[in-house]
Amino acid sequence: MSILIGVQQADFVPATELERLEALGGGAVASFTGIVRADAADTVALELETYPAMAEQALRAIAQTATERWPLLGVTMIHRYGRLPVGARIVLVGTASRHRGAAMEACAFLIDWAKTAAPFWKKEWQSDGAAHWVEPRAADDAAAAAWASRAPK
Amino acid sequence: MKLDLLYFSWVREAVGRDGEVVELPTEVATVDDLLAWLAARGEGYGVFATTERLRCAIDQTFAPLSASIAGAREVAIFPPVTGG
């Protein structure tokens, strides 16, 4: 099992990260890339704050849980922080497995949990210089909680 | 008891600093107690009275606000996370 965790300001190149997973000998690699979206017309950037000392181990714990639940060959989780303009990559989750089912399910599990169990906070910046902290979404909590009641494959 | 406190997001902004070292009286036994003790400082610290909107981590692990802080080195206080 090969787990790669990154908490960084720098951008990442999804293709490069996925090649690492493709080389692990499985038949399936699945991935999710999160992008800064303009929820309002005047949104210009998201500022991601993190608790650096905790973030890496929180993501690693989530990855570890996935490897206990699905037969994975590799997991990659990279989460950026700092000020990221609309269109920038925020997060990458990648999984490798022998078959597609485990890779895709684990990928969905990992991003659902990364949203609710890793210490990151988003602040939305507008073109007029105003900013506000993004409120947590009940749907995100529900998505993460739903995995507890789903039978592992 | 000496404890490192860390504040994030709008908790950090309300207090006006990202953390501090505090010397706690012995009756402060849980995170809930800690929040009440901090809120009593007034002004920006009033943010600690909004406990239903606060979450915490003890020594870099998420914990309920009812958790004991006995033996803890570092307690972080923050809003619900919104990453991903």
CATH number of the domain enclosing A15: 3.90.1170.40
Q: pTM for this one? A: 0.94
Is pLDDT above 90 for A1?
A: no
Count structural domains, chain A: 1
State which residue of chain A sits closest to B55, comparing Cα positions: A119
Its domain, for residue B25, covers 2-78
Do A79 and A91 contact (CB within 8 A), yes or no? yes
Q: Can you tell me the ipTM of this complex?
A: 0.95
Are A48 and B83 within 8 A, CB to CB?
yes
Please indicate, yes or no, if residue A153 is contained in any of the structural domains: no
Are A120 and B10 within 8 A, CB to CB?
no
Please indicate, yes or no, if residue B11 is contained in any of the structural domains: yes
Beta-bridge partners for B57: B62, B76
pLDDT value, residue A150: 77
Please indicate, yes or no, if residue B84 is contained in any of the structural domains: no
Beta-carbon pairs below 8 A across chains A and B: 69
Residues A94 and A30: their CA atoms lie apart, in Å, by: 6
Please indicate, yes or no, if residue B50 is contained in any of the structural domains: yes
Beta-bridge partners for B62: B57
pLDDT value, residue B33: 98
Q: Identity (one letter) of the amino acid at A83?
A: R
3-state secondary structure of B67: coil
Nearest CB partner across the interface for A115, out of B8, B61, B83: B83
Its domain, for residue A108, covers 2-147
pLDDT value, residue A142: 92
Is pLDDT above 50 for A153?
A: no
CA A87 to mean position of chain CA atoms: 16
- Residues of A within 8 A of B61 (CB-CB) are 54
Please indicate, yes or no, if residue B74 is contained in any of the structural domains: yes
Count structural domains, chain B: 1
